[in-house]
Chain A
Amino acid sequence: MPETKTPPSGPGRWPLVIGVGNEHRRDDRSGLEVVRGLPSRLHERVRIAECQGDVTDLLDLWSDEAEVIVVDAVRSGHPPGTVLRLDDAFIEIPQLGATSTHGLSLSEAVGLGRALGKFPAHLVVYGIEAEDVGMGEGLSAPVSVGIQEAIELVTTEVRSLLGPASIT
């Protein structure tokens, strides 16, 4: 379990990277795998959190934050393992709630956060296209590859947020 580090206060504080997923639903755990797989040197300068339960917890995690990166499994019709980068300007909220009896999705957390003013200044979502979200712990092969790609992309993005000299 990665630790959440205490941020320096004020502008330019460290970005927050949140992995979302259910550990026991195979590819659904990919968001958790990405934050756990971030290079250890990056851990010095980034805050990491996991959200494995109800995603309304995201509202408290990310409100008042400057830069937040969320990594989650997605289903968008792309080939499994595809990594998508969504800037919050492009995060489209799909049809919500009416077909769900319990639990909310990341898109609902985004919508609620915006409606209630509990939203970061800037949000980027990395989505990894899932193949198998059945009960179990193993990842599908293309998603394992996608996770490695997402780790590199998130690392690059965090480094660019921190500035070129911040991490070698």
Chain B
Amino acid sequence: MTERTISVDYIARVEGEGALKVRIRGTTVEDVQLKIWEPPRFFEAFLRGRSYLEAPDITARICGICPIAYQMSSCHAMEQALGMRVRGQLRALRRLIYCGEWIESHALHIYLLHAPDFLGYPDALALAKDHPDAVKHGLELKKIGNELMQLLGGREIHPINVRVGGFYRVPTVTELERIRPALETALGLAEETVRFAAGLTFPDIEEDYEFVSLRHEHEYPMNEGDVVSNRGVKIPMSQFEDVFEETHVPYSHALQSQHRGEGSYLVGPLARYALNHDRLLPRAKSIAREVGLEDVVRNPYRSIIVRGVETVHAVEESLKIIDAYKPPDEPFVEPPASFHATSGAAISEAPRGMLYHRYRLNEEGLIEEAKIVAPTSQNQKRIEDDLRHLLDRSLNLDDRELTNACEKAIRNHDPCISCATHFLKLDLVRA
């Protein structure tokens, strides 16, 4: 019997950091091993002994693409530990900066990372040569998201203005009004993005996902809500670890999440949309209807449309927050003056899914234990399931085609390799 092995160093540019290994014997897929390097592990150790106030700034460094998610989850976890509540305009400003990150991250994935797969291009560069306007739209949207993050965060990469209790400085009405025209442009661009995505051709595949996301009483979820699933989970954030667990897989050194006693589950845009489409704002709802998007999308390739719809929502939400903005009297809620040993946990919706933080603090407010569960580690097992199904139905492809198909299936879930280095892999050719 013939044995085929497919091996891909697919993540970023560092050998051995992230890899996909598939073993096929005859017509049977024997093993699928997906390894995603997880920087949170390093940071969990790094956080021990640091002040609770430092967690938002330190954890923001985990990811250059979604620093706000790390800041939000860490702030909420600390506030939960200390019994603080952030309400009103400060709460709204948090949603506003999070909208910036959703816009920026989704635009990057839709146009530069995902779209080339559907249009037959190997990468964004090839796409840009034939469809410069599409890529320009993507970059423009992304830039507006960045501007929003910069305005509220002080700078777009690793923002420094977010703190436990709120912000170091809040914007003036004039400052927020200044970004309104750009957001109005972004709304049109985001709607065009949904139309563009819906016009792509997708493989006709559906997966039976357990979708897991936050759900809030009134809002499309970002910072608050219960953890819910389409298979009956409904728990407060604080019970996350009772229902979902991380297990060690020998090939990865990383931990994989699963629903205890159930198996893999999916977080991210498909899950949020399936469980919260009724909470979308009117323009987002309307564009989803216009392009015929079903209420529950089980085709992972169609996640590109859902990201587009979420981008419309994020722009709409930003404008709504700016409309209602009145600068709060204080930029942050004062933390308690004295401490006792305590702990707190919180989840927020990063662009690619739920991000869980839990901290244990001592009586001096120093971190004794930190636990961070990133969306990509939660999706890792589920992505392996997608790959197993893909391989079962695609064994007739040659190795190269199969490798490409696997990479596309992975990209559907926008796995975050934030830890990726940015060095230039260089083939130097001199004439």
Taking beta carbons and an 8 Å cutoff, which residues of A are in contact with B? 20-25, 27-28, 50-57, 59-60, 72-76, 84, 86, 90, 92-94, 96-108, 111-112, 115-116, 118, 125, 127, 130, 133, 135-136
Contacts and interface: CB of A to CB of B under 8 A. Distances in A.
Given A115-B129, A116-B128, A135-B419, A100 B425 contact: no
Nearest first, the 10 closest Cβ-Cβ pairs linking A and B are A97-B123, A53-B64, A76-B426, A53-B157, A73-B423, A115-B128, A28-B421, A111-B125, A135-B42, A96-B123
Chain B, interface residues (CB within 8 Å), range: 35 or more
A100 B424 contact: no
Given A106-B424, A116-B128, A56 B112 contact: yes
A116 B139 contact: yes
12 contacts: A52-B158, A53-B157, A75-B423, A84-B426, A94-B427, A100-B11, A100-B12, A101-B410, A101-B415, A102-B65, A103-B420, A107-B425
B180 interface: no
Interface of B: 8-14, 39, 42, 61, 64-65, 67, 108-109, 112-113, 116, 122-126, 128-129, 132, 135-136, 139, 142-143, 146, 156-158, 404, 407, 410-411, 414-431
Nearest to B13: A105
Given A24-B39, A116-B132, A135-B419, A103 B407 contact: no
Contact of A97 (B14, B39, B125, B426): B125
A108 B417 contact: no
A101 B417 contact: yes
Given A21-B422, A115-B132, A116-B132, A104 B65 contact: no
A84 B428 contact: yes
A100 B411 CA distance: 9
Contacts of B139: 56, 59-60, 116, 118
Given A97-B124, A102-B113, A102-B415, A60 B425 contact: no
A112 B422 contact: no
Nearest to B146: A57
A4 B64 CA distance: 20
Given A74-B423, A75-B424, A97-B116, A103 B417 contact: yes
